[in-house]
Structure 1
Amino acid sequence: MQSTTSRAQPLKKDSLISTFTQFWENVKAITGPYWYPTEAQGRVFSSVIRAWGMLIILIILIITLVGVTAFNSFVSRYLVDVIIQEKDFDKFVDTVLVYGAALLCVTLLVGFTKFIRKRIALDWYEWLNNHTLEKYFSNRAYYKINFKSDIDNPDQRLSQEIEPITRSALNFSATLLEKTLEMITFLVILWSISQFVAVALVAYTIIGNLIAVYLTQELNKINQEELEFKADYAYALTHVRNHSESIAFFQGEKQESNIIQRRFSNIIKNATRKINWERNKDIFTRGYQAVIQIFPFIVLGPLYIRDEIDFGQVGQASLACNLFATAMAEVINEFGTSGRFSSYVERLSELSDALKAVTKEPENVSTIKTIEENRLAFEHLTLQTPNYEQVIVEDLSLAVQPGEGLLIVGPSGRGKSSLLRAIASLWNAGTGRLVRPPLEQVLFLPQRPYIILGTLREQLLYPQTNRQMSDRELEGILRQVNLQNLLSRVDGFDTEVPWENILSLGEQQRLAFARLLVTHPSFTILDEATSALDLNNEGNLYEQLQSTKTTFISVGHRESLFNYHQWVLELSQDSSWQLLTVEDYRLQKSQLIVNYSPKNSETAINTSPNNQSPIQPDISIEVDTIAELSHKEMQTLTDSTINTIRSKASQGKSITTKDGFTYRYDKDPKVLKWVRA
C-alpha cells in the first residue's frame, strides 16, 4: 500500500535520484566501450576516429541548419516589408531568389543530417550487437545463463532491443541539440523585437516542461511494462511452435490458448493505459503550441496598429514563436519516448551484467580441476550440482582405456548425464581432478540431437562446416547410417529445409551418428544417443563406432548396449558407485534375482570392490538366465500390488518393470509364469 504520510515525499526523491543515477551508469556502460574504449582488446583506434569524425560532422550540420533557419526568418521578414511597404519589384525578385536558395539549403541540410545520424546509429548498432553476442557466446554464457540467472527472454533482448538503443540515443541527442539551438536562436530574435514576449515565452516554457515531465513519468513505467508483456507473449507463441507435436498429442490447444490469451490480455490492458496517458500528453502539447501561436499577435498586434513596429517584425515574431513551439514540442516528444529508451537500456544492462556474472568463477567454493591430456579419467572426483546443494557422485576414480567403451547406468535422475556435463566442462562444482582431451577432440551425441539451421551438407559436417567432402563421400556416410533415402526427399546436399519437421527422432539420431563418421573424433560421449532406434539400427551404429577405434562413454538403459561396451559404471542413489566388467555386472544382477526369496523380502547384496557401496534394490536389472517369474517376484520388480499383477495376468496385459524390460504372462498350464516379452 502506498503511504500518504509526510515521509513519503523524501523517499520518492531519493528513489528518483537513485533511479536516475542507475540509468546514467547503465548508459555509460553501454556507450563507453564504443565512444571511449579503455580496454586493451577494445575497438581499434581507426574505428573510434571514424565514429567521432561522423559525430562531429553531424554536429556541424545541425549548427549550420539552425543558422540557415534563423537566416531565413530575417529573409522572410525583409520579403514581407518589400511586398507591403517598399513595393519594389527588383528587390522582390532578388529576395525571393535568396529565400529560395536558403530553403534549398535547408532541404539538403535536413536530408544529410538525418542520413549521417542514421549511419552513426547503424554503425553503433552493428558494433553493440557483435559486442553483446561475443559476451553471450564466450565461456558458454548462453548455456549458463539458463541455470544461474533470472533474466527473461535473452533472445528477444538480443534480437529486438539493441537496435532501438542506438537509434533512440542518436535521435534524442541530435534532436535535443538541434531544438535547443533553435529555441535559443529564436529567443534572441524575439528579445530583439520584444523583451516582454521573450521573457513570457521562457516562463511559459519552464512551466510546460514541468508538466511534460509529470506526464512522461507514468508513460515511462507503461513503456517498461509493455516491453515485458510483449516479450512474455512472444515467448508463449514460440513455446507453442517448439512443442507443437506434444501439445497436439495431449490435445492441449484450449489450455495453451488460455495461456496466450492471458498474456495478450496484459498487452491490451497496458495499451489502454498508454493510450489514455498519450491522450493527455497530446492535448497538453497541442494546447501548449496553440497558446504560443496566438500569444505574439495578442502582444504585438496593438504595437503594429500604433505603428510602433512594422509588419515584417510581427511576422518574424510569429514565425519565431511557431518554430520555438515546434522545437519545444519535439523535445517534449523525445522526453516522452525516452521512457522506452531507458527500458531498453535497463534490460540490455541487466543482460550484460548477467552474462558477466554467470561466467565469473565463484569465490570461496571448491571446483573440479580439469587437466587436458590425451586420455579420459576421473581422479577422486566428487561432482555436485551447480548450486552445491546435492552430491551426484562421490570420490569417483577410474580411467577409460583407449579404444574401450564405458557404459554408465543407474536409476533415473541419479546424475548419469551430469557426469557427461562435467566432461564437457559445463558443470565443475565439486572436488578432485578430471583428465580429458581437448574438447576439440571430443564429440558429444545427446539423446535429442542438435539440428542446426542449415543445409544437409552443413548438418553432416557440423561443427566443422568448413571441412571439404565430396557429394559421393557424403552419400557413403548416409548409407552407413541407413539414411540413403534421405536425398530422395530433399533437393541435394545444399538444400536448406526445416529438418526437425521432416526428420523423425530416430532419423535425427542417425544423422548425429553420421557426424561421428565424418569427424572421426578420438573420444565420443553418447547420452542415450540410440534411444529412438530399433535394435538393428542401434547395433549397426555401435559396430561402426567400434570400428573407428574411438574411446567412448555411453549413458543408457537398454540391455542391448552391454554388447558394445567393456565396462559398466553404476551410480546409486546414495552417491556411491561401482565399476565392473560387463560380464561381472550381468552375473551380479543374475545373482541378485536368484538370491531373492518371496518369504524374505531381504535381497542378497554384493559390495563394490572399490568403495564398498551397497547395490540398491531399485537399480536397473539385466537378466539373461532368469526367463520365468512368479507374481510375487513381479511385484518386487514393479512395486505394483499383487492384485494388480494378477489382474493384468488374467487380462493378458504386459507389464514393464523398473529396469525397463517388458513381461507378459504365459497362460500355458505347463508354464503359468511371467516371461520376458
Structure 2
Amino acid sequence: MVLPWGCRMAAGPPGPAARHSPAVLAAAHTDGSPARSALETAMHGLKQALLQIWRLTYPYYTTRETTEVRLWPLPAIRMQERWIALLMAATVIGIEFAQVAINVRLSYFNRDWFNAIQGKDAAAFWSLLFSVFCVWAAVYVASAIIQYVIQSFLRIRWRAWMTRHYVDRWLGGDAHYRMGFSGAQTDNPDQRIADDIDQFTQTTQSLAISFLSAASNLISFSVILWNISASFTVPGTDWHVPGFLVWGALIYSGLVTWITHRIGRPLIRLNFEQQRREADFRFSLARLREYGEQVALLGGAEAEKASLRGRFGALIANFYAIVDRRKKLAAFTTSYQQVNVVIPYILVAPYYFAGQIPLGVMTQTAGAFARVESTMSFFITFYVTLADYKAQVDRLTTFDASMERAVAMGAQSRLRVAPRDGGALHLSGLGLDLPDGRRIAEAQDLTLRPGETTLLTGPSGSGKSTLFRAIAGIWPFGEGEVATPAGARLMLLPQRPYLPMGSLRSAATYPDASGRHDDAAIREALEAARLPHLAGRLDEDAPWAQTLSLGEQQRLAIARALLAKPDWLFLDEATAALDEPTEAALYRMLRQRLPDTTLVSIGHRSTLGAFHERRLDMTPREDGRFVPTDVRAPVAAQ
C-alpha cells in the first residue's frame, strides 16, 4: 500500500499466498533440519522487522516539505526538512566515529602508560597523562555534549513531523471514524500517536547510534586484537591460530547471544500486550470520568470497580509475566557481565607470565578483547530495549495498516456522494448496509427539496441515522448515489454533540477555528439558544462535556448552527433531551433566524410534525428492508 508521501507501508504479516510462495517453499525444502528451519525463521523475522523499521523511518528522511531553520547568529533560511534531518544525522554519526577514533588512540595511551608504570618511568607517565590523555579526554567530552544537543534537536523535529503526519492521516478522509469498522488492531490510537511515536523516534535514534558505534568499535579493535594475537598459540599447545583472540571473542559472543535470545524471546509479545493493557486501563479511567454522572445515577460504582479491577488485574498479571522473564534474562546477562571482567585477562595471562608481552600490552589486549566482545554482544546488551522496541514498531505498523484499510474502505465504497447543479438533494439507487454486509435500508429515488422542512421518522434500527451519515459522506457501506446541491453548506447535529477541550468560545464556534465570529455574535447565539447563563463565560476553560447537561449541550449545538448559517441543517434527534415547550421554541427560533436554511430532522415525538412541511416514515418491506415513504403531515407551525 502506498502512503501519501510515496513510500510503501506493510499492511501486516504476509498472507497465505505469500507464505506458500515458490520461494518460501523452496527454502523450506532446502534443508529439513530443525536448526536450519529455526535459523531461516529467525532471519525471516529479522528481515521483516528491519523492513518495518525502514518503512516507518524512510518518509521523514525523504520528505520534500520545506521549513524555516535558524542557526544563531546566522539569519533564518528556508530549506527542505529532509536536508536538515540528514545533516543533523550525518553530524551525529560523524561525531560517533570520531569518538571511536579517540578511544582507539586512548587504547595506545593505555598501553604506553602501563608500560611506563611497569618500567617506573615517571617522565613518560606524566607526559602521557597531560599531553595525550587530558587533551583527548577534553575533546571527547566536548564532542559528547555537542552530539547530545544535535541528537536531541533531531529527535524533536522527527517526532513533531511524524506526529503531524499521523494526525493528518488519522483525521483525513474520516479514517478515524472508519477504522472502527475495519476489524483491525486499532486500540488506543491516542497512545500510538502520543507515546509510541515518541518512543519509536527516541529508541530508533539511540539504537542506530549504538549499532554504528558497535560496528566501528568492532572493526577498529578487532584490528588491534588481531595484530596483538597474530603470534599467539592456543594456551597449553603449540597450535598457532592467527587472530586467536578475535575468534575466541566471536565464538564466545555468538554462544551467549543465542542463549540470551532463547531466554528473552517471549518479552516481545509480553511488552506488546503490556502496552495495550496499560492503554486500556487508562482509557477506562478517562471514560469513567466522562460518564461519571450516568454511573452515579445508575448506582454503577460497584460494577465499575469490578471492571477496573479486572482490567488492572490483567495488566498486573502480564507485568508479573514480564518480571519473571526479565528475572531469568537478568540472571543470565548479569552473570555474563561479571564473567566478562576476568575472561580477557585469563586468556592473556599465560602470555604475560611467560614474558611474551609486557603489562601495557596485556592491559591493551584485555581492553581490546572487551571492546570486541561487547560489540559482538550488542544483541545481549540491548535485548530488553530491542524487545520493547519491537512492540513499538508492531503497534505503529498495525496502526498504519489500519489507517490504510480505512482509507481503502472509503475509496472502494460503491456509495458515492457528489455535488450536482440544482438546489435539491437527490438520492438514487441508494442501498445502505451494516458493516457485516446486511442491507438495512434503501432509497431508490428520493428528493429533498430546498426550503422544504422534512421530518424523518421510523422505529429504532430502521436506518434513519445511517441515512444521515450517508448524506454526510462518512458511511462507507452500501451503494448508490447521493447528489448534494453544488456549493451548498451542509451541517449535521447529532443527538450527543462533540465539545472540544478548551474555552466555551471554541466549543460554541466548533469546528470553525478562524475566529471570524465576534463575542457579540456568540453571546447573541447563546441567548437565542436559551443559554443566557453561559454568555458571560466565553473565556472560561472547563470540561464542558461533563459540566453541561445533555440538554445544554444540545442547545449549544443549536447556537453553533446559528453562527454557521448552513444551507442545509440535519438534526439527528438533536433536541431529544429537551422538554417539548423548549424544543418547540427552538424550532420556531431556527425558522425565524435561518429562513434560507432547509431543515431535515429525525425524531420520534409526534409534536415535531407541526414544525415540518413534509414527513418521511421508514417503513419495512416484506424483505425486512426499510424505505422512506411520504406520509401526509400537518401544516408546519410558524
Gaps of 5+ in 1: 1-5, 587-677
Q: Give the corresponding residue for 1:520.
A: 565
2:256 aligned counterpart, secondary structure: helix
In structure 1, distance between residues paired with 2:353 and 2:43: 51
Q: Classify the secondary structure of the residue corresponding to 2:475.
A: coil
Q: How many angstroms apart in 1 are the aligned matches of 2:83 and 2:554?
A: 51
The 5-angstrom pairing of residues 612-627 of structure 1 reads none
**Cα separation, partners in 2 of 1:368 and 1:305, compared to 1, 3 Å:** closer
Equivalent residue in structure 2 for 1:219, among 263, 267, 277:
267
Report the equivalent of 2:218: 183
Distance 2:453 2:188 in 1: 40
In the alignment, which residue of structure 2 is the partner of 1:193? 228
Residue matched to 1:293: 341
SS of residue matched to 2:629? strand
C-alpha displacement of 1:433: 3.2
Alpha-carbon distance in structure 1 between the residues aligned to 2:304 and 2:114:
68
What code does the residue aligned with 2:86 have?
Answer: W
Q: Write the letter of the residue equivalent to 2:381.
A: N
> Which residue is 1:573 aligned to?
620
The counterpart of 1:557, out of the listed 594, 598, 604, is: 604
Q: Using the alignment, how far apart are the partners of 2:616 and 2:585 within structure 1?
A: 23
* Distance in structure 1 (CA, Å) of the matches to 2:565 and 2:526: 15
Q: Kindly indicate whether residue 518 of structure 2 is the aligned counterpart of residue 470 of structure 1.
A: yes
Look up the equivalent residue of 1:27 and give its one-letter code: I
Residues 352, 358 of structure 2: 8 Å contact kept: yes
**Which of 484, 494, 504 is residue 549 of structure 2 equivalent to?**
504
Asked whether the 8 Å contact 1:83–1:92 carries over to 2, the reply is: no
Compute the displacement of 1:459 (Å): 1.6
Counterpart check, 1:156 vs 2:191: yes
Aligned AA (1:173): A
Shift of 1:495: 1.8
Q: Distance in 2 between matches of 1:435 and 1:79?
A: 86
Residue 362 to residue 473, structure 1, CA distance change in 2 (3 Å):
closer
Equivalent position SS for 2:415: coil
Residue 530 of structure 1: how far off its partner (Å): 1.0
C-alpha displacement of 1:292: 3.1
Provide the C-alpha distance between the structure 2 equivalents of 1:215 and 1:351, rounded to a whole number of angstroms: 29
- Identical aligned residues as a percent: 26
Shift of 1:462: 1.5
Map 1:111-122 onto structure 2 (within 5 A): 111-122=145-156
Alpha-carbon separation, structure 2, partners of 1:569 and 1:297: 90
**What amino acid maps onto 2:613 in structure 1?**
Q
- What is the rounded CA distance, in whole Å, between the counterparts of 2:540 and 2:420 in structure 1? 38
2:453 corresponds to 1:402 = no
Residue number among 59, 70, 83 corresponding to 2:93 in the alignment: 59
The amino acid that maps onto 1:181 is S
CA contact (8 A) 1:293 1:321 kept: no
Tell me the number of residue pairs that the alignment of Structure 1 and Structure 2 aligns: 575
Change (3 A) 1:363 1:309: closer
Q: Deviations over 1:147-183 (max 9, x none)?
A: 2233222222222211211211111111011022223
Asked whether the 8 Å contact 1:164–1:344 carries over to 2, the reply is yes
Residue 645 of structure 1 is matched in structure 2 by: none
Q: Deviations over 1:641-660 (max 9, x none)?
A: xxxxxxxxxxxxxxxxxxxx
| 1:38, distance to aligned residue in structure 2 (A) | 9.6
Q: CA deviation at 1:582?
A: 1.4
How much has 1:13 moved relative to structure 2? 5.6
Conserved? CA contact 1:382–1:392, under 8 Å: no
Moved over 6 A (4+): 6-11, 362-365
- AA aligned to 2:95 is L
Letter in 1 for 2:541: E
| One-letter amino acid matched to 1:583 | P
Alignment correspondent of 1:134? 168
Instruction: State whether residues 368 and 430 of structure 1, in contact with CA within 8 Å, keep that contact through their aligned partners in structure 2.
Output: no
Contact 1:289 1:329 in 2 (8 A): no
Task: Write the deviation string for residues 429-466 of structure 1: whole angstroms up to 9, x where unpaired.
Answer: 44443221368711211111111112111122211121
- Residues 1:329 and 1:110: Cα distance change in structure 2 (over 3 Å): farther
Check the 8 A contact 2:424/2:484 in 1, yes or no. yes
Letter in 1 for 2:481: R
How far the C-alpha of 1:420 sits from its partner, in A, is: 0.8
Cα distance between partner residues in 2 of 1:38 and 1:18: 32
Q: In 1, are the aligned partners of 2:614 and 2:631 still within 8 Å (CA)?
A: yes
Q: Over residues 76-120 of structure 1, what are the superposed CA-to-partner deviations in whole Å (9 max), with x where a residue is unaligned?
A: 222223344152337624533421111112222223333333332
For structure 1, which segment, 76-85 or 522-531, has the greater mean C-alpha deviation from structure 2 after superposition?
76-85
Q: Which residue in the other structure is 1:71 paired with?
A: 105
Identify if the C-alpha distance between structure 1 residues 303 and 185 changes in structure 2 by more than 3 Å, giving closer, same or farther: same
Contact preservation (8 Å) 1:568, 1:580 = yes
8 Å CA contact retained: 1:383, 1:428 = no
Partner of 1:534: 579
CA displacement at 1:64 relative to structure 2: 0.5
Distance, in Å, in 2 between the alignment partners of 1:327 and 1:16 is 20
Partners of 2:610 and 2:636 within 8 A in 1: no
**Cα distance 1:329–1:503, how it changes in 2: closer, same or farther (>3 A)?**
same
Asked whether the equivalents of residues 610 and 634 of structure 2 are also in contact (C-alpha less than 8 Å), the reply is: no
More off after superposition, 372-381 vs 61-70: 372-381
Alignment of 1:449-488 (within 5 A): 449-487=497-535
Please tell me whether the aligned partners of residues 289 and 326 of structure 1 are also in contact (alpha carbons under 8 angstroms).
no
Are 1:24 and 2:50 matched, yes or no?
yes
1:449/1:440 Cα in 2 relative to 1: closer, same or farther (>3 Å)?
A: farther
Task: Look up the equivalent residue of 2:617 and give its one-letter code.
Answer: E
- Work out which of the residue numbers 254, 260, 270 in structure 2 matches 1:206: 254
C-alpha contact 1:82 1:91 (8 A) present in aligned 2: yes
- Contact 2:170 2:403 (8 Å CA) reproduced: yes
Question: In the superposition, relative to structure 1, how do residues 372 and 9 fare at CA in structure 2: closer, same or farther (>3 Å)?
Answer: farther
**Distance in 1 between residues matched to 2:480 and 2:245, nearest whole Å:** 81
Q: Kindly provide the amino acid, as one letter, of the partner of residue 414 in structure 1.
A: S
1:254 counterpart (302, 314, 317): 302
On the 8 A contact 1:369/1:431 being kept in 2, the answer is no
* Structure 2 equivalent of residue 664 of structure 1: none
Q: Is the 8 A contact 2:529 2:558 kept in 1?
A: yes
Aligned match of 1:172: 207
The CA distance in 1 between the partners of 2:33 and 2:136, in whole Å, is 57
Single out whichever of 469-478 and 388-397 deviates more from structure 2. Answer: 388-397
Establish whether residue 375 from structure 1 lines up as the match of residue 426 from structure 2: no
Match of 1:281? 329
Equivalents in 1 of 2:530, 2:405: separation in Å? 45
Q: Does the C-alpha gap of structure 1 residues 81 and 24 become closer, same or farther in structure 2, counting only changes over 3 Å? A: closer
Measure, in 2, the Cα distance between the counterparts of 1:467 and 1:130. 23
Displacement after TM superposition at 1:365 (Å) = 7.0
Q: 1:487 Cα shift?
A: 4.0
Structure 2: unaligned runs, 5 residues or longer: 1-31, 66-77, 231-243
Instruction: Please identify the structure whose Cα radius of gyration is greater.
Output: 1
Which residue in 2 is equivalent to 1:304? 352
1:48 counterpart residue number: 82
Change (3 A) 1:231 1:393: same
Q: Deviations over 1:216-270 (max 9, x none)?
A: 3222222222223223322332332233222222222222222222222222222
Alignment partners' CA distance in 2, 1:339 and 1:440: 53
Q: Deviations over 1:602-622 (max 9, x none)?
A: xxxxxxxxxxxxxxxxxxxxx
The whole-number CA distance in structure 1 between the counterparts of 2:507 and 2:571 is 18
2:8 alignment partner in structure 1: none
Deviates more, 1:106-115 or 1:13-22: 13-22
Correspondence 1:596-611 to 2 at 5 A? none
Deviations 1:558-612 (A, max 9, x none): 12211211000011133233213413999xxxxxxxxxxxxxxxxxxxxxxxxxx
Q: TM-score, normalising length from structure 2?
A: 0.83
State the alpha-carbon separation in 1 of the partners of residues 96 and 90 from structure 2: 10
Q: Which residue of structure 2 aligns with residue 320 of structure 1?
A: 368
Q: Structure 1, residues 325-373: CA drift from partner, whole Å, max 9, x if none?
A: 5545654232332122122212211111121112225798743453344
- The answer (yes or no) to whether the contact 2:616–2:629 under 8 Å persists in 1 is yes
Distance in 2, matches of 1:410 and 1:385, equals: 17
Question: Could you tell me whether the CA contact under 8 Å between 2:428 and 2:480 is conserved in 1?
Answer: yes
User: For residues 365 and 181 of structure 1, what CA distance do their matches in structure 2 show?
Assistant: 53
